[in-house]
Chain A
Amino acid sequence: MSRTLALFVCLALCCSANDGLAQKKKASRKPVTLRGKNAKRSKKKSATKSQKLPALKTVADKQKFLEVIRESMPTRRVSTKIRYLPADLDNSLEYRVGRDSDFAPLIDDERFVRRVHLDLVGRPPSVKVIRDFVADETGSKRAALVNRLMKTEQFARKWARYWKNVIFHESTAPRSRTNPQALENWLTEQFRKGTSWDRIVAELVSAMPVRNKKKKKEKNAWSQKTGQNNFVLAYENKPPLLASQTARLFMGISIQCAECHDHPFDDWKREQFHELAAFFSKGKYYMPGMGNADKKTEMKPRFLLGEQPTVKLTSHQRRVAVAAYLVYNQDNYWFARSFVNRIWNELVGDGFYAVDSLGPDQECLHPSVVNRIAAVFRYRDFDPRWVFRLLTNSRAYQREIRTIEKDEELFTAVRPIRLNADQVKASVLRLTGPDRTIGRDLDREFRADPSLPQRDREGSVQQSLLLMNNATLHRKLNNGRLKKQLVMVKAPRALLNRLYLAVLSRRPTSREISRGLDHLMTVKNRAEAVEDLLWVLVNSTEFLTKR
């Protein structure tokens, strides 16, 4: 299998040498003849032809070229026949987890509308949206809401920010040479347009921004304003960093250790790591010696599964080749699976494995389930929305929360997970009204590694202090519109209803009502009582949790 693929990229590379980029559109319509015809040619004259390969220096050329390879993916031709519905997912997952497991019941509409808003658009729903959704009697309203939310700009923005944070979290590149905001904007545009995941990643990985020495660093000398250049720039165009980050972010594989020694737990060898890194090198690539770093060995580019270009490539072409081996590669099921696993981890609270540290020998839970989703994701042309739609409409996603302590309990319920910085910010600012300082402080205190498994995420004392005491936050809250509205509500029950809907996106329970009524009775000053109640809800665990 992998050998056919090894040829695959080269075929495409050679074909373009013969046909030229201009004709490639024509060729792409007949992928079968393209492969057949060029298989012969490449054998005969690959060495001489290689000098005529298109230079692939511009983004447009790279994209066109990758498109040729994309069109010849076998999955392109069978995709329409595949059906895989949320019920299929649930049936296979419940079978794997064990039919007699103690599955948590499904959430009610109020819980669903908050959860799905936080997940898809990164903010809680407004009181009106909650009320309308609960009142809606259409049977398919949950699916309809998911579709509606995925069409919004906020959906694109939310997931663009997620990936920007994922990509930049481990970056140590100087700020003057990167532009995270440009990356976020570019990704937003892609998610909004519904660009497929393979195209997005191929563009990120194949980018090779070159420094313009006439410009100052911060003045776009690295073309950092071009959003898609920023994955490569975040890792300073350095081959070892790009190798480990490509594997980590887009395959979910941890091979960083193999940079210095054979991986202690996994099968990765140092050579494999450096062969991958060689794709990203400008010129020849050398692996430093083990004991003696000066004793170097030249490494030829070779992808992790053994794929190797058979012709000599320029640095730009190598980037395109590694992107193709990563993305358009039937054997590389890691690519599709790592996306599915990441999204699953974000939505359900646990992945089938830690999102960025899988090795070939490491355990993946219920592989048949996640592999199946990943395969269909590929057949669906790597459409990110298909993954979101599948998951959010599944029972696995719509279950009630429960504390999960053992691996056997995974996926029988949803883990109550911490909101991320953006979600906290949106939740707070909705109550206080927009405020720069509050936003900045929340950002600073709640920012965390988005690749960390949810169960390992922790809060901090500073977060608690901020929500308890921050003067600006509480001044705004106490003088804000919500509080004024609440004070105006004469009937205590109606007041409490309104309060809980606004802060926790749900109506209060009977115990919450009785506690609230007590408080409104005891504290004579209504404004003061309302301030207390607001403080309590904003400082509650639930406010910071996806329920």
Chain B
Amino acid sequence: MIPSIPTLALDAEVTRRGALGFGLGLSASALLSPLGLHAEQLKREGRSCILVWLAGGPSQMETWDPKPGAPNAGSTKAIRTAVPGLSVAEHWPKLARRIKDVAVVRTMVGKEAAHARGTYHVHTGRRMGGPEKHPNFGAVVAAELGDPGSDLPNFVSIGKTLSSGFLGVKFAPFEVTRAGQLPANVSKGVTAPRLARRLALLKGQDDEFAEAGAKARVVEHRVLYERARRLMASPKLKSFRLDDEPASQQQAYGKSRFGQGLLVARRLIESGVPFVEVRHGGWDMHNSLFQKIEPSSADVDRGVSVLLSDLKNRGRLGQTLVIVAGEFGRTPKINKKTPAPGRDHWARNFNLLLAGGGVRGGRVVGKTSANGQEIVERPVMVEDLFQTLCRVLRIDASKELSPPNGRPLKIVDGGQAISEILG
């Protein structure tokens, strides 16, 4: 539960080309050896973030901004929550009871109504286009909060996600396809002495190639192999598995891939991984929305509420930010699709949840009109959201990142943190 001892060695500053400056004299293992404590790290109090990504664009009116009685409400009813005056759609009974830990942002202003572009916007805080490939926020968190010497990758995604963009491979999401199982290819197929024997031979092989003109390539290769080897040998690898979680716990999170993914996410952040994304698909409900919404919501409602209570019980909710969001909302108007109607893409306003990390629960940000078509109070821009995330995670949003061959970019450009939900 205590973050591992941070090291300076494989730091963000030691870039690939920077590392070359040392020449071959400094071997990869020397680069990786721990040197000492990172002062800044201590300030961060082991903050971490779990992003629950509802891929496809969840309908705001069927999630946390219901419009009971409105002509376009469909069959969705609202239920009361633990906070008087705050109601959510009927499909979310468990979160309704935990709402004191959760802030609901109802007036996110979107700009993108296509999946890829919306996913990019809400994952990077920037709109797609332009020469830069902006990093997934998870990669930014990995770079800013991650322990550079960690055995585990600093950004894990259970399911597919957006890349680390110009931050490069070092902070790329380590994607796991099957929650609860070890990542692919981490089990060595041979005995430890035999692997050691092979690695010794490999060193000789690569030394000679380095001398033949491939010095830089060999250094990079060794850094990766060293990281691979340490991951394979790491005792923390068991965080990817659920063997030592009681059956009751596994049951509580839900036996679905998503539920198990959230449990793995909790284990990973406890092992020092600062950012974990868990994907839940199937929210692109153009048709049969009122049929599909119930099972999808139930899975997420159960998983997220158990995650929050589990984090709280284990004393980690205060440092762990949980985000539940998708790439945009859905049309307040119900369409006429067959076999049953649904709602289409809608970027003008969408909603999301923030919890933990000191976010004030039980609060609602913003208000939409009676038919859900307009924002009437407190529009929140994507930049405002990212300022908020940085504030909660103690990341300096004005810090400049330098994309290769481009102008420096602030982590977040513009926007203001949503102060009313910050402690």
Contacts and interface: CB of A to CB of B under 8 A. Distances in A.
B214 A458 contact: no
A519 B214 contact: no
A468 B213 contact: no
Contacts of B12: none
B187 A539 contact: no
A257 B130 contact: yes
A465 B213 CA distance: 25
A400 interface: yes
Contact of B185 (A244, A458, A470, A539): A470
A217 interface: no
Contact of A460 (B117, B172, B209, B217): B172
B405 A354 contact: yes
Contacts of A244: 129
Interface residues of B, number: 52
B197 interface: yes
A269 interface: no
Contacts of A259: 129-130
Given A354-B405, A469-B185, A539-B225, A172 B116 contact: yes
Contact of B186 (A456, A458, A465): A465
Interface in B109-128: 114, 116-117, 128
A441 B185 CA distance: 11
A400 B214 contact: no
B225 A545 contact: no
Contacts of A372: none
B224 A536 contact: no
Contact of B213 (A416, A535, A537): A416
Contacts of B187: 469
Interface stretch (B73-81, B84-92, B199-207, B303-311): B199-207
Contacts of A519: 201
B194 interface: yes
A465 B228 contact: yes
A401 interface: yes
Contacts, number: 142
A403 B129 contact: no
A405 B21 CA distance: 9
Contacts of B227: 461, 464
B348 interface: no
A533 interface: yes
Contact of B189 (A471, A540, A542): A471
Interface string B398-411: 00000011010000
B215 A403 contact: yes
A512 B188 CA distance: 25
B131 A401 contact: no
B80 to A, nearest CB: 40
State the main secondary structure of chain B at its contact with A. helix
A134 to B, nearest CB: 19
B337 interface: no
B202 A458 contact: no
A101 B241 CA distance: 56
A544 B130 CA distance: 32
A469 B216 CA distance: 24
Interface in A452-478: 456, 458-466, 468-471, 474
Contacts of A402: 213
B205 A264 contact: no
A256 B213 contact: no
B83 interface: no
Interface string A222-252: 0000000000000000001000100000000
A464 B197 contact: no
A512 B198 contact: no
Interface in A468-524: 468-471, 474, 509, 511-512, 515, 519, 523
B153 interface: yes
Given A403-B213, A465-B184, A541-B221, A458 B169 contact: yes
Given A172-B114, A400-B213, A403-B215, A461 B131 contact: no
Residue among A260, A512, A523, A540 with the highest chain B CB neighbour number at 10 A: A540
Contacts of B224: 459-461, 463-464
B231 A413 contact: no
A547 interface: yes
Nearest to A475: B189
A118 to B, nearest CB: 15
Contacts of B129: 240, 244, 256, 259-260
A468 B351 CA distance: 44
Interface string A376-417: 000000000000000000000000111101000000010010
B209 A532 contact: no
A104 interface: yes
Nearest to A259: B129
A429 to B, nearest CB: 17
A540 B202 contact: yes
B232 A459 contact: no
A512 B202 contact: no
A429 B113 CA distance: 42
A447 to B, nearest CB: 11
A270 B231 CA distance: 48
Contacts of B215: 403
B174 A461 contact: yes
A509 B114 CA distance: 56
Contact of B405 (A357, A459, A474, A547): A357
B348 to A, nearest CB: 13
Given A459-B220, A464-B225, A511-B208, A413 B185 contact: no
B20 interface: yes
B194 A532 contact: yes
Contact of B197 (A357, A474, A512, A532): A532
B44 interface: no
B189 A474 contact: yes
Contacts of B69: none
Given A536-B202, A539-B202, A172 B16 contact: no
Contacts of B209: 540-542, 545
A307 to B, nearest CB: 25
Given A403-B213, A536-B205, A469 B131 contact: no
Nearest to A416: B214
Interface of B: 16-17, 20, 114, 116-117, 128-131, 153, 168-170, 172, 174, 183-189, 194, 197-198, 201-202, 204-206, 208-210, 212-218, 220-221, 224-225, 227-228, 231-232, 404-405, 407
Interface of A: 104, 172, 240, 244, 254, 256-257, 259-260, 264-265, 354, 357, 400-403, 405, 413, 416, 418, 441, 456, 458-466, 468-471, 474, 509, 511-512, 515, 519, 523, 532-533, 535-537, 539-542, 544-545, 547
29 contacts: A104-B213, A257-B130, A259-B130, A401-B212, A403-B20, A403-B216, A405-B17, A416-B217, A458-B169, A459-B169, A464-B224, A464-B225, A464-B228, A465-B186, A468-B185, A469-B188, A469-B189, A469-B232, A474-B189, A515-B204, A515-B205, A532-B198, A532-B201, A535-B198, A540-B205, A542-B209, A542-B214, A544-B221, A547-B214
Closest 8 CB pairs of A and B: A172-B116, A465-B185, A464-B228, A458-B169, A401-B213, A541-B221, A416-B214, A402-B213
Given A468-B228, A511-B204, A541-B221, 6 more contacts: A172-B114, A403-B217, A462-B174, A465-B228, A466-B184, A542-B214
